[in-house]
Structure 1
């Protein structure tokens, strides 16, 4: 297992961010995402069955699956045991970063300010999640943070849709984009896996042009 997100993503730039209440939908969801060209996904660790969902999607084999919304070291441990190849937090929690390092898994803490970014750098990290990206000011905020920290790679997430995708992808400091519009709760409720495949393919195509 790699502690470097760049290695884990292996060039993938579109990261579907998933909230999946029902483990029964995990396998067909993974099929739809991979059919659309996705090579990674983040499963939000905030539903009662998140571990089962993560385990099922990790077993699919076609996706590098990570755990999102990880708030504590204990959640990080459970996520890794379930097969998470990376761990994402909405904010910076030193204990989560330390535990992920001990577990040998890539960790991507969320930052919203220069001070939080400096804490991540002090901890030896060079990849962070800009969250919530759009409410914070979108690419203008990204530009402002990237300028004094040219060594940092960002994974903007939060409020991003297809309309904003190209602006983020064009930024040299952006490693990947996290977004939930490709597979929403409504898609899963009505079993619209073809819609998930289509939206994922549309996003992936934007990331390769």
Structure 2
């Protein structure tokens, strides 16, 4: 596991963020850091993503910054140029895996089935994003589909439908490196400038993860 993903595994939670405005970037980072959460996955679901990552890489280098929803090799290049230390995707695309390898960018492709895991592990991936985690069957589903790959020491970051109340269900599994938290920094909180709400949710997520993994 790369240094970036090893650090994420120590933290236990990755906030998954679709940020709409570059003006929200620094206040968002400060809210996460105030809450003790020193990592953020900025998804390419918005036009602002690359600019936000570049700004945060410069202004808040203490934040472990990653790119999410990386769907093509061009986005791999943009993530690296913007200073991303890691990247994740919702699915498995060998072209994206190759691009990340060529760029030395730690990368976790998305999986949802045993076939996905088989394809990803065949390309050398040992950390994968289980997406959409809750709609796809939750912890029981992941535990069962990942069992045949346990000897490969495959690890997963479930994302999609995970909440503060269900963190324990996931982090109790040895296959889980960390959970992805879309609830921590919601678009409506950023639009409203409610940075204290984000800080509070970050603080609660970190505290819960530490309770489960002292």
By the TM > 0.5 criterion, same fold?
Answer: yes
3-state secondary structure, aligned to 2:149: coil
3-state secondary structure, aligned to 1:43: strand
Structure-to-structure mapping, 1:10-159, within 5 angstroms: 11-59=10-58, 60-150=60-150, 151-159=153-161
Quote the residue 1:178 is aligned against: 180
Q: Does 1:168 align with 2:170?
A: yes
TM-score (norm 1): 0.95
Unpaired segments ≥5 residues, structure 1: none
When residues 96 and 152 of structure 1 are mapped into structure 2, their CA distance, relative to the original with a 3 A threshold, is same
Q: Any conservation in 1 of the 2:64–2:85 contact (CA below 8 Å)?
A: yes
Q: How many residues align?
A: 208
Distance across 1 between alignment mates of 2:160 and 2:8: 19
Q: Any conservation in 1 of the 2:16–2:43 contact (CA below 8 Å)?
A: yes
When residues 9 and 127 of structure 1 are mapped into structure 2, their CA distance, relative to the original with a 3 A threshold, is same
Task: Identify the match of residue 206 of structure 2 among 199, 204, 207.
Answer: 204
C-alpha deviations, 1:98-150, integer Å up to 9, x for none? 01000011011000000010011100111000000000011111111232111
Q: Any conservation in 2 of the 1:3–1:107 contact (CA below 8 Å)?
A: no
TM-score (norm 2): 0.93
Unpaired segments ≥5 residues, structure 2: none
Root mean square deviation of aligned Cα? 1.4
